[in-house]
Amino acid sequence: MTDTPDLSVELGFLRLKNPILAASGTFGCGLEFTPFIDLNELGGFVVKGLYFEPRSGNPPPRLVETAAGLINAIGLQGIGVKHFTETILPQLKDLQTAVLVNICGESEEEYVRVADYLNGHEGIAAYELNISCPNVREGGRCPAQNAESTYSLVRRVKQMSARPILTKLTPNVTDITLIARSAEEAGSDAVCLVNTFLAMAIDIHTRRPKLANIYGGLSGPAIKPIALRMVHQTAAVLSIPVIGMGGIMSAADVVEFLLAGASAVQVGTANFIQPDILPQIVEDLRRFLVKNNIKQITDLVGGIKSP
Amino acid sequence: MLLDTKAEIVGRESWGDYFLLTIRSPSIAEKAVPGQFIMIRTASGPYPLLRRPFSIHDRKKDTIDIYFQIAGEGTALLAAKKQGDECDIIGPLGNGFLLDTLAEGRTVAAVGGGRGIAPLFFLGNELQKLGFPLTVYYGGLTSGDLPLEKKFRDKGIPVHCSTDDGSTGFHGLVTDLFLSFLPSSRPDHLFVCGPDPMMKALSRICLEERISAQFSLESIMGCGFGACWGCVHKIKTQGEAEWTKICQEGPVFFTEDIIWNND
Ligand SMILES: Cc1cc2nc3c(=O)[nH]c(=O)nc-3n(C[C@H](O)[C@H](O)[C@H](O)COP(=O)(O)OP(=O)(O)OC[C@H]3O[C@@H](n4cnc5c(N)ncnc54)[C@H](O)[C@@H]3O)c2cc1C
Ligand SMILES: Cc1cc2nc3c(=O)[nH]c(=O)nc-3n(C[C@H](O)[C@H](O)[C@H](O)COP(=O)(O)O)c2cc1C
Ligand code: FES
């Protein structure tokens, strides 16, 4: 092997050493994974969603497994932004990888408050706006289900943010490209998709929903083909980078998302099953490039051919 | 906490729908303490997707045992594994039973319901080494749910059994069996593992009788190492009741900290 392929990706506002990021809510604050992997081998990771105040989340059962999928209704239990910056962030400072923070809010004001607070702290590469969590609002509603509220929220945060903004979209909409466009028009630096699909499961013996919250978000291999289609549709109409995710379990899955037009990807549920999967995917990607004589990973982006 | 993707199954026993697997994993065995658990991947493909949690039932120099009952797809796949197969495990996870606080001369007992007996064998062995002989109350629906009775006896750990149908031992719930012994042999400290209704009832008894007790809780787990926030139970921490991750802060908690009505 003479040339080692170039795995790095330039998103315009952020350079990643490779296109593999860990998805928010599935990677804790990163530190949970240090017994298994070297975080510096990742392109980056997105820490769990943060509201301004600590949040207690939903009652259990919060998880139910379905065919090749996981439905979760955690309800964004979290430590709040102050505790995060005081106790967690200092431990992430020396990492040679991009640390992104997933920002949540019950109102536009709360998103702004969280971003404003984080603006005053070092060690964060970008903000990912979680405008798409389906658990919290009644009936799973959220700002990302509406083009106008997406525009308004992204614009407000973008105007005061000291850092690049990635907008994380929900797939629970009739046309995801409309929402993606409003995020772009509002100044978002990239979009991330997809968040989980609103779903449910019923116990046939007790006739009760299997989740205390009734509905939750479906993730895992079961959603990959739909997520891939949405990434393909979105990448076709945007000029900002698209970060793809949904059910990625292998380097082959990553290559599919890149070919569909994603500039980078996030891996979620797979981290629970195989906590060392991220560096393994990076290594397998490298092998794939060598084997196929591809010099740089960016050559794959949008490389899908006509049928 | 270690990931061992190639731990070999070196022993297997079965009794009806109960199974015992001996798994070779020297590094996990070395670190394990009673009350801790491991997460096992039951399939190589995406169904079942998540790992499944199992208490460490016994530990030898290079091996750990798990003891389980078939409950669904994952446990059925695990039951089908043979000696020589490899399995993919993470462990040891969670905090075990707290044993350092036991004062000399204290009497200890344990109550196990069905598969909940699993961690109590490892516990009994360790307590024996520490000089605290354990008495075990072991309950099931019927005699077939109590395959480990002899194993405890052979180790010199006294066992009192109960079955709901009266097919063996005391006829009734294990909680009633425990209550019947209370006047004559009241333990200073109790360890409990079993189905929620049993643990809830015992929790009430322990609080009323002022018996200090540790309970090993169960929950559906997404990861087992603190990353998903899926496994919570309401636990009092510094006076405040909060949804607490069982995998990381537990699975063992003291009675007075556990809030049973999840609301
Ligand atoms: C810390 C811990 C230690 C455990 N130790 C043991 C052990 O030593 N021996 C043993 O036999 N079992 C143990 N369990 C329970 C065991 O993990 C479950 O029985 C197993 O995950 C079921 O998997 P399955 O795929 O066979 O069933 P599934 O099809 O996943 O589930 C079957 C039924 O069991 C319920 N269930 C699933 N997972 C759990 C769970 N974790 N707790 C309670 N109910 C559940 C489901 O809601 C469903 O109704 C433990 C659980 C925990 C959390
Ligand atoms: C348990 C769990 C918690 C999650 N929490 C968050 C969160 O806090 N913020 C967020 O934007 N997405 C959250 N997600 C969604 C994931 O980041 C990801 O978008 C989704 O799971 C799809 O990817 P996957 O199939 O690879 O898991 C969560 C997913 C799971 C399974
Ligand atoms: S099982 Fe994932 S946090 Fe406890």
User: Could you tell me which residues come within 8 angstroms of residue B100 by beta carbon, excluding any fewer than 6 positions away?
Assistant: none
B112 in the same domain as B89:
no
Give yes or no for residue B262 having a pLDDT over 60: no
What integer pLDDT is reported at residue A86 of this predicted model? 96
Would residue B78 count as lying in a domain?
yes
Q: How confident is the model at residue A133 (pLDDT cuts 50, 70, 90)?
A: low
Do the chains contact at A67 and B47, CB–CB below 8 Å?
yes
- Smallest Cβ–Cβ distance between A65 and the set B3, B50, B90 belongs to B50
B26 in the same domain as B88:
yes
Quick check: bond before A194 cis, omega within 30? yes
What φ, ψ does residue B178 adopt, rounded to 5°? -60, -45
Would residue B152 count as lying in a domain?
yes
Predicted TM-score of the model (pTM): 0.95
Q: Which of B65, B93, B121 is the last residue of a domain?
A: B93
Span of A12-16, A81-85, A209-213, B257-261 with lowest mean pLDDT? B257-261
What integer pLDDT is reported at residue A137 of this predicted model? 47
What integer pLDDT is reported at residue B261 of this predicted model? 76
Domain tally, chain B: 2
Q: Which of B68, B93, B118 is the last residue of a domain?
A: B93
- Which of A246, A280, A262, A259 lies closest to A68, judged by CA? A246
What integer pLDDT is reported at residue A145 of this predicted model? 78
State mean pLDDT over B176-191.
95
- Smallest Cβ–Cβ distance between B222 and the set A212, A272, A274 belongs to A272
B167 in the same domain as B133:
yes
What integer pLDDT is reported at residue B51 of this predicted model? 98
What integer pLDDT is reported at residue A11 of this predicted model? 95
What integer pLDDT is reported at residue A138 of this predicted model? 43
B246 in the same domain as B117:
yes
What integer pLDDT is reported at residue A144 of this predicted model? 77
Cα A41 from chain centre: 18
Atom of ligand 3 nearest to the CA of B219: 1
Would residue B182 count as lying in a domain?
yes
Give yes or no for residue B66 having a pLDDT over 50: yes
Residue from B93, B243, B246, B263 whose CB has the most chain A CBs within 10 Å, to mutate: B243
State mean pLDDT over B87-93.
96
- Among the bound ligands, the one closest to the CA of A142: 2
**Which residues constitute the domain of residue B21?**
2-93
Span of A40-49, A82-91, A240-249, B94-103 with lowest mean pLDDT? B94-103
| DSSP annotation string for chain A | --PPPB--EE-SS-EESSSEEEPTTSSTTSGGGTTT--GGGSSEEEEEEE-SS-B--PPSP-EEEETTEEEE-----B-HHHHIIIIIHHHHTT-SSEEEEEE--SSHHHHHHHHHHHHTSSS--EEEEETT-SSSSGGG--GGGSHHHHHHHHHHHHHH-SS-EEEEPPS-SS-HHHHHHHHHHTT-SEEEE--PEEE--B-TTT-SBSSTTS-EEEESGGGHHHHHHHHHHHHHH-SS-EEEESS--SHHHHHHHHHTT-SEEEE-THHHH-TTHHHHHHHHHHHHHHHTT-SBGGGGTT-PPP-
Do the chains contact at A28 and B227, CB–CB below 8 Å?
yes
B204 in the same domain as B237:
yes
Burial of B181 (0-12, 13-18, 19+ CB in 10 A): middle
Would residue B81 count as lying in a domain?
yes
B4 or A134, higher pLDDT: B4
Span of A138-147, A226-235, B16-25, B72-81 with lowest mean pLDDT? A138-147
B154 in the same domain as B70:
no
Residues in chain A closer than 8 A to B262 (CB atoms): 59-60, 212
What integer pLDDT is reported at residue A141 of this predicted model? 61
What CATH number does the domain containing B170 carry? 3.40.50.80
Q: Which of B40, B61, B93 is the last residue of a domain?
A: B93
Instruction: Quick: pLDDT tens for B30-39.
Output: 999 999 999 9
Domains of chain A: 9-57+76-200+219-300 (3.20.20.70)
Residue percentage of chain B with pLDDT more than 70: 99
Question: Is residue A80 a contact partner of residue A55, using CB atoms and an 8 Å limit?
Answer: yes
State mean pLDDT over B2-30.
96
For A22, the closest chain B residue by CA position comes to B227
B136 in the same domain as B41:
no
By DSSP bridging, strand A264-267 and strand B2-15 are: unpaired
B231 in the same domain as B144:
yes
Q: Which residue has the tokens 């180790």?
A: B155
Instruction: Quick: pLDDT tens for B111-163.
Output: 999 999 999 999 999 999 999 999 999 999 999 999 999 999 999 999 999 99
Give yes or no for residue A209 having a pLDDT over 80: yes
Would residue B101 count as lying in a domain?
no
What integer pLDDT is reported at residue B105 of this predicted model? 80
Question: Is residue A50 a contact partner of residue A78, using CB atoms and an 8 Å limit?
Answer: yes
B240 in the same domain as B168:
yes
What CATH number does the domain containing B72 carry? 2.40.30.10
B113 in the same domain as B71:
no
Would residue B99 count as lying in a domain?
no
B130 in the same domain as B66:
no
What φ, ψ does residue A187 adopt, rounded to 5°? 105, 10
- Which of A218, A78, A75, A190 lies closest to A129, judged by CA? A190
State mean pLDDT over B205-234.
96
By DSSP bridging, strand B63-69 and strand B58-59 are: antiparallel
User: Could you tell me which residues come within 8 angstroms of residue A119 by beta carbon, excluding any fewer than 6 positions away?
Assistant: A160, A161, A162, A163
Alpha-carbon span B202 to B205, nearest angstrom: 5
Q: Which residue has the tokens 């943010």?
A: A161
B241 in the same domain as B114:
yes
Question: Is residue A117 a contact partner of residue A154, using CB atoms and an 8 Å limit?
Answer: no
Would residue B251 count as lying in a domain?
yes
Residues near ligand 3 (Cβ within 6 A): B 221-224, 226-231, 245, 247
- Which of B169, B75, B162 lies closest to B117, judged by CA? B162
Active site residue A133: yes
Question: Is residue B204 a contact partner of residue B180, using CB atoms and an 8 Å limit?
Answer: no
Mutational test site, ligand 1, from B145, B218, B231, max ligand atoms within 8 Å of CB: B218
Would residue B262 count as lying in a domain?
no
